[in-house]
Amino acid sequence: MTRSSSRRGGGDAVEDRTGGLEAFLREMPKVELHVHLEGSLEPEHMFLLAARNGVRLRHATVGAAHVARGFTDLQSFLDEYYEGASVLREEPDFYELTRAYLLRAHADRIRHVEVFFDPQTHTDRGVPFGDVVSGIHRALVDARSELGISSRLIMCLLRDRSLESAERTLDAALEHLDRIVGMGLDSAEIGHPPRDFVGVFARAREAGLRIVAHAGEEGPPAYISEALDLLGAERIDHGVRCLEDDDLVARLVAERVPLTVCPLSNVRLRVFESMERHNLKKLLDRGLVATVNSDDPAYFGGYLVENFVAVQRALGLDRDDVLTLALNAVEAAFVDDERREGLRKELVCFAETWPDRARGLSAGGPT
C-alpha cells in the first residue's frame, strides 16, 4: 500500500486534546491477519477449562501461570503454549476460546480477522479434528452476525513434527474445506526449513487452500525465499529478517508480498532487544507491505491495540504510518473484492472524518 496522504490540516491539534495519535489508532477500524487462537487463552480461562476437563496443570495458581509467561526464546514460549493448549478437549472449549478472542477483537475495532489454529496440537492428544474445527467455526459464524466481524480460518502445520503427521493433518482438513480457507507453517523455526514440507503444501494448493508460512522470525532470510518459491506462500508471517537480504527486499516490494509482523511477540521472544530496536518503521520506509498483528496475545502482553500502541510509541510512527499499516492489512486479507473495498472505504472514511470524531471523544459524545 502506498503511503497515505489522508492527513488533514487541523487534525493534529484535535489529536493533542484527545490523547493524540493513540486515540486515533484505538478507534481506527482494523484487520488482523496473524493471531493463533490457542495463543489467546488467558490463564484464568485455562484454569477454568482445566478444572472442567480434569486436566492437572504444572502451575498451582493463575498468578503462577502469569509469572511463567516470561520467555527467553521461541522454545520457552512453546513449552507454556502447549501446556495451555492441553486443557482444550471438547468442541465447546474451542467455541469458548474463539468467542473470547472475538469479543476482545470487537473491542479493538477489528472488522475482519484471519485466525490460525494448530490441529496437531489437539489431534495428537486424541481430540477429533472435526470437534476442533466445529467449535471454532461456530464462534466465527456467530461473530459475523452478532459483532459484524468477518473472518477466515487458517490451519497451521507444526514444522517440528514429522512430514507424515503433516500429511495426515491435511487429509483430515480436506473434509472441512467449506470452513478452512488456508494452510500455514508455524512452531519452532530453527532447523525446520520450509523445504521439508514441499509435497504437503503442493497438495494443499491443488485443493484450493491459500498458503502462508512463518519465516524469517528466528530463521534466516533464506527461509522466506523457500516459503515463497517452494511452498507457494502468498503472505509471510513475521518476515522481519528480510532486511538482511537486499535482493529479497527488492523482490518482496516488487511482488507486494505482505508481512504479518507481530511487534510485542518479537520483543518478548528476543528477536529484538527492545521495541525501540524493532525494524517495523524500516520495513515501511523500504516500501514493504508490513502489517501489525498480535500473534499469541495472551502470552506476549497484548492484543492488536496494545501492539499498535507499543510500536507507535517506541518508533514514533505518525498518522500516515499507522494508516498505511492498516490499509496494508486490508490489501493482504483473503477476502473478495467487494469485502476488501468495503473495508478500505470504512478505513479511509474514518481517517478523513477523524477531526470530528476526535471532538466527539473530547466532549464525551458518540464517535
**Which residues participate in catalysis according to the annotation?**
217
Q: Where would I find the H helices in the chain?
A: 11-17, 20-27, 43-53, 62-68, 74-85, 91-107, 119-123, 129-147, 163-173, 198-206, 221-226, 246-254, 263-268, 280-285, 297-300, 304-315, 319-332, 337-352, 354-362
Classify 308 as helix, strand or coil. Answer: helix
Dihedral over alpha carbons 109, 153, 261, 16 (to 10 degrees)? 0
Residues in the chain: 367
CA-based nearest residue to 314, from 285, 273, 350, 351:
273
**Residue 332 and residue 360 in contact, taking contact as beta carbons nearer than 8 Å:** no
**Residue 149 and residue 178 in contact, taking contact as beta carbons nearer than 8 Å:** no
Distance between CA atoms of 119 and 173, rounded to whole angstroms?
9
The b/e string for 249-278 (b: 16+ C-beta within 10 A; e otherwise) is beebeeeebbbbbbbbbbbbbebbeebeeb
Dihedral over alpha carbons 214, 216, 217, 218 (to 10 degrees)? 120
Q: What are the grid coordinates assigned to 59, written together?
A: 502451575
- DSSP-assigned states of every residue in 143-206: HHHHH--EEEEEEEEETTS-HHHHHHHHHHHGGGTTT--EEEEES--TT--GGGGHHHHHHHHH
Which residue is listed with cell 478472542? 101
**Residue 197 and residue 232 in contact, taking contact as beta carbons nearer than 8 Å:** no
> ∠155-127-300 over CA atoms, to 5°?
55
